[in-house]
Amino acid sequence: MFLDGLDELDRKIVRLLIANARMPYSEIGQQTGISRVAVKARVQSLERRGVIEEYTTVINPQKISGAVSCYFEIETRPDTLSQVIDILMRNETITQIYRVTGKNRLHVHAVAASNEEMEALLTGTIDRLPGVLECTTNLILSRLKDIKGLRL
3-state SS, residue 128: helix
- The CB-side HSE value for 142 (13 A sphere, CA atoms) comes to 1
Task: Select 61-139's CATH number: 3.30.70.920, 3.30.70.20, 3.30.2270.10, 1.10.3080.10.
Answer: 3.30.70.920
Domain boundaries, the chain: 8-48, 61-139
Quick one: average pLDDT of 66-78? Answer: 91
pLDDT band at 1 (very low <50, low <70, confident <90, very high): very low
Q: Looking at the whole model, is its pTM more than 0.75?
A: no
Report how far residue 84's alpha carbon sits from residue 42's, in angstroms, rounded to the nearest whole number: 40
Q: Give the type of residue at 15.
A: R
Report how far residue 106's alpha carbon sits from residue 85's, in angstroms, rounded to the nearest whole number: 9
Class level of CATH domain 8-48: mainly alpha
Mean pLDDT of the chain: 88
Of the candidates 130, 131, 118, which has an alpha carbon nearest to the alpha carbon of residue 72?
118
